[in-house]
């Protein structure tokens, strides 16, 4: 740039000094003098440790820890939390030892900083594995001290606010991680403002053009609707004043991401999203909440089905409020939230209310208790997860904001993830109830275990002492708790199956080697086992590892050949694996193509899953490296059993059609696992029905389809989901 347009150089020393002064002034407003001194010392230590380091924007690195600590003063976090914020990158980025922090600032601060520090990425092959391990480390730390996640969210919030200086690919990766993990975590512990801002900032960096267009549209709508909003505020205030209800009333605008998400989910144009404005009514106590609700329902008509009572049934993060959507002036829908002042504290600050409002308030204590229970669940899931990636996947499921509120027969309320089944409910009650679940009643009627629960359902679990978890449950349970308990149980239960399968696979590979003139003897096998025995493995461990896919049988067979002093020379292909279908968790039938006896099949060994059987023409198989596939055949000598398979039936939209189809299926001696009515084509005079059946083989399935197609109301019946 020319001398005329050159900007004045920034005095970074003055900038850092000003930011530090602002931070310390904020800390002095609520901390004791000796605590402020500790924060001052942490600032000086961090400034010296980061000396010479700069951010991508060119600012001294110390400006970032100061900004993170400044955010935390808004929640009046204690001195140890502020020190951890100022020091959070010293171990990771400057090589400061934990022992040094322990000596200077105490063990608690050192533990907090350690919990916030990433693990060395050199240990991991992929970015995903590194992310998962770092998240697991942070979860273990925050289960001991909730301040870890509060500081981490403040750190992520400031990083997202200053993400523009990063490369585009890195911006997108960080934004996606924030949207997938950190925003939901903020929501889960009740930090609502942080949750919304992280969503909007992620949206901005993932879809910059859409963000700009939507921002412009909202600014225009804001001007157009200003008069309407003022009119509604005046009407609400007048109505509550007449009823002698003291209230603070505020108009609020929905955040950009929630508007965008609604447009995407419901396929709406922006002009069709009418409820971008909401109104919040804050009153003195619970009684006033319900009185105010009645008054507002008298002022504007409520929209049926759009009322939620989160006071009687709080959200899992402790949030309480009454939500109602009303027909406003000119038919405009308006959302109203009504809550007490204590509820508002929790809604805005969640678990951070512990530091902001040290009043001993019951609602604040409840928020703390709910967060503690959630963290204990995370610890249980972590203990049962095979690896960090599996653990992270479980957590992501439980972080989804949609929740279902269901009742036990005694009236206890359980909060489950959206899409939860009676099996998820059973494990939420108790692990033993889940393990022994055999059937379920929803609203007093027997239903399939894969049924999706809805708000308000009353669920009763039927158990037997002989029942045990079924591997097929993993295809429909959605809660991390249920998935981890089922997998953990099956790992022990299927040990014998895995060993037997591993022995069969190894023998087949050895048989292929024998065809080339090599016959392994006990001496070679014992030598091979000694290699593993030195590492603490037993012979059964090797076979189980082969059966679960942790080790390929051909590798074990090749090592035996090496011990004989020969070379394999070329790839060895073993004979087909014989599949019975009753091997439990050691052999799984792929849910993508649902193979049944009579189908041509291939085997794919997946790490931690064992052998997964697909149809030969399954698209998943066609994408694999041929060297990763095993030939497989059905073992027809085994006793007949039933296999799950989906079919789609199109019927004319007339009375009795469903009954006729189900009768035909029953007559063909097939069991119906579930029925899914799809009315997408109802306007064309037909209805799509999805069935999941239990059949013996492809011939049995063809008999079923023939019987179904013979019904007069049936237009079409085919295999497939």
Max distance between CA atoms of the chain, in angstroms, equals 99
* Mean local confidence (pLDDT), 328-344: 85
User: How many residues are listed for the chain in this entry?
Assistant: 721
Q: pLDDT value at position 64? A: 94
Quick one: 614 exposed, middle or buried, by C-beta within 10 A (0-12, 13-18, 19+)?
buried
E strand segments, 464-591: 577-579, 587-589
| Lowest model confidence (mean pLDDT) among 70-84, 502-516, 614-628, 705-719 | 502-516
Which residues have CB under 8 Å from 307's CB, separation 6+? 322, 323, 324, 325
From 583, 466, 398, 494, select the one nearest 486 (Cα to Cα). Answer: 494
pLDDT top residue among 141 and 382: 141
Indicate which residue of 93, 253, 275, 403 is catalytic.
Answer: 93
Instruction: Calculate mean pLDDT across residues 631-653.
Output: 80
End-to-end CA distance of the chain: 63
Per-residue buried b or exposed e for 523-561, using 16+ beta carbons within 10 Å of the residue's own CB: ebbeebeeebeeeeeeeebbbbbbbbbbbbbbebbbebb
Please indicate, yes or no, whether the overall pTM of this predicted structure exceeds 0.85: no
The tens digit of pLDDT for each residue in 75-104 reads 888 899 999 999 999 988 888 888 999 999
Is 120 one of the catalytic residues?
no
Which pLDDT value is given to residue 123?
Answer: 46
What is the rounded CA–CA span in Å between residue 214 and residue 260?
Answer: 8
- State how beta strands 629-634 and 577-579 pair: parallel
- 111 vs 362: which has the higher pLDDT: 111
Q: So what's the pLDDT on residue 419?
A: 83
CB-neighbour burial class of residue 369 (10 A; exposed 0-12, middle 13-18, buried 19+)? exposed
Give 54's DSSP letter: B
- The yes-or-no answer on residue 93 being catalytic is yes
pLDDT cut 70: percent of the chain above it = 72
Instruction: Specify which of 3-12, 136-145, 575-584 reaches the highest per-range mean pLDDT.
Output: 136-145
What is the H or E stretch that residue 499 is in?
helix 495-514
Q: Residue 712 pLDDT > 80, yes or no? A: yes
At residue 121, the pLDDT reads 41
- The model's pLDDT over 163-182, given as tens digits with 9 standing for 90+, comes to 988 888 889 989 988 988 88
User: Quick one: average pLDDT of 214-233?
Assistant: 79
Residue 74 has pLDDT above 60, yes or no: yes
pLDDT per residue as tens digits for the range 647-683: 999 988 888 888 889 889 988 888 887 787 754 445 5
Mean pLDDT of 582-607: 77
Best mean pLDDT range from 7-16, 199-208, 568-577: 199-208
Q: Are 112 and 80 in contact (CB under 8 A)?
A: yes
Q: Mean pLDDT score of the chain, rounded to an integer? A: 78
Of 28, 35, 48, 92, catalytic: 92
- Provide mean pLDDT across the span 429-457: 88
Cα torsion for 85, 91, 97, 101, to the nearest 10°? 0
Confidence (pLDDT) at 662: 87
**SS3 (DSSP) at 282:** strand
pLDDT of 573 > 60? The answer is no
Provide the token pair at 147.
């301040």
Tell me what percent of the residues of the chain surpass a pLDDT of 90. Answer: 25
């Amino acid at each position: 740039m020319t001398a005329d347009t050159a900007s004045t150089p920034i005095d970074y020393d003055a900038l850092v000094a000003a930011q530090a002064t602002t931070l310390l002034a904020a800390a002095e407003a609520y901390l004791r003098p000796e605590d402020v001194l500790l924060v001052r010392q942490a600032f000086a230590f961090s400034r010296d440790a980061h000396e010479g380091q700069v951010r991508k924007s060119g600012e001294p690195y110390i400006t970032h820890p100061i900004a993170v600590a400044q955010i935390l003063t808004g929640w009046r976090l204690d001195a140890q939390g502020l020190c951890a914020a100022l020091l959070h990158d010293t171990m990771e980025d400057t090589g400061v030892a934990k022992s040094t922090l322990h000596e200077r600032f105490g063990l608690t601060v050192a533990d907090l900083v350690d919990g916030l520090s990433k693990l060395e990425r050199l240990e991991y092959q992929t970015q995903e594995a590194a992310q998962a391990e770092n998240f697991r480390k942070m979860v273990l730390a925050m289960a001991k001290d909730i301040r870890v996640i509060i500081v981490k969210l403040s750190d992520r919030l400031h990083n997202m606010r200053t993400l523009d200086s990063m490369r585009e690919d890195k911006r997108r990766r960080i934004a996606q991680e924030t949207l997938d993990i950190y925003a939901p975590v903020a929501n889960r512990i009740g930090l609502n403002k942080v949750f919304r801002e992280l969503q909007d900032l992620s949206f901005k960096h993932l879809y910059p053009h859409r963000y700009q267009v939507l921002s412009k549209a909202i600014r225009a709508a804001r001007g157009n609707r200003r008069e309407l909003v003022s009119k509604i505020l005046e009407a609400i205030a007048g109505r509550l004043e007449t009823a002698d209800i003291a209230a603070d009333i505020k108009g609020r605008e929905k955040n950009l991401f929630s508007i965008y998400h609604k447009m995407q989910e419901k396929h709406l144009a922006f002009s069709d999203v009418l409820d971008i404005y909401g109104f919040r009514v804050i009153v003195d106590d619970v009684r006033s909440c319900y009185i105010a609700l009645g008054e507002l329902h008298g002022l504007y008509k409520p929209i049926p089905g759009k009322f939620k009572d989160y006071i009687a049934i709080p959200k899992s993060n402790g949030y309480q409020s009454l939500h109602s959507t009303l027909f406003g002036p000119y038919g405009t829908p308006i959302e109203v939230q009504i809550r007490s002042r204590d509820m508002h504290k929790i809604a805005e600050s969640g678990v951070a209310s512990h530091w902001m409002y040290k009043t001993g308030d019951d609602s604040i204590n409840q928020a703390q208790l709910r967060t503690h229970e959630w963290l204990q669940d995370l610890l249980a899931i972590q203990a049962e997860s095979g690896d960090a990636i599996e653990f992270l996947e479980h957590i992501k499921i439980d972080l989804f904001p949609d929740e279902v509120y269901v009742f036990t027969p005694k009236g206890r309320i359980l909060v489950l993830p959206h899409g939860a089944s009676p099996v998820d409910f059973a494990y939420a009650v108790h692990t033993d109830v889940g393990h022994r679940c055999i059937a379920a009643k929803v609203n007093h009627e027997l239903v399939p275990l894969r049924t999706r629960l809805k708000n308000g359902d009353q669920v009763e679990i039927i158990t037997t002492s002989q029942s045990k978890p079924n591997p097929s449950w993993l295809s429909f349970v959605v809660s991390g708790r249920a998935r981890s308990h089922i997998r953990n149980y099956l790992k022990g239960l299927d040990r014998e199956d895995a060993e037997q399968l591993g022995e069969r696979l190894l023998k087949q590979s050895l048989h292929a080697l024998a065809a080339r003139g090599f016959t392994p003897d006990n001496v070679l096998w014992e030598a091979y086992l000694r290699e593993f025995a030195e590492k603490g493995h037993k012979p059964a461990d090797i076979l189980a590892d082969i059966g679960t896919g942790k080790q390929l049988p051909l590798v074990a067979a090749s090592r035996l050949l090496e011990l004989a002093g020969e070379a394999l020379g070329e790839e060895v292909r073993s004979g087909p694996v014989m599949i019975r279908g009753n091997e439990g968790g050691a052999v799984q039938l792929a849910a993508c193509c649902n193979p049944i006896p009579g189908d041509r099949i291939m085997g794919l060994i997946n790490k931690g899953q064992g052998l997964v059987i697909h149809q030969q023409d399954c698209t998943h198989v066609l994408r694999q490296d041929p060297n990763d596939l095993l030939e497989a055949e059905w073992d027809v000598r085994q006793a007949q059993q039933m296999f799950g398979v989906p079919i789609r039936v199109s019927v004319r939209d007339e009375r009795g059609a469903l009954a006729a189809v189900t009768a035909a299926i029953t007559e063909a001696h097939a069991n119906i696992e579930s029925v899914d009515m799809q009315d997408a084509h109802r306007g064309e005079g037909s209805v799509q029905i999805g069935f999941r059946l239990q059949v013996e083989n492809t011939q049995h399935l063809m008999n079923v389809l023939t019987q179904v197609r013979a019904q007069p109301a049936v237009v079409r019946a085919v295999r497939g989901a």
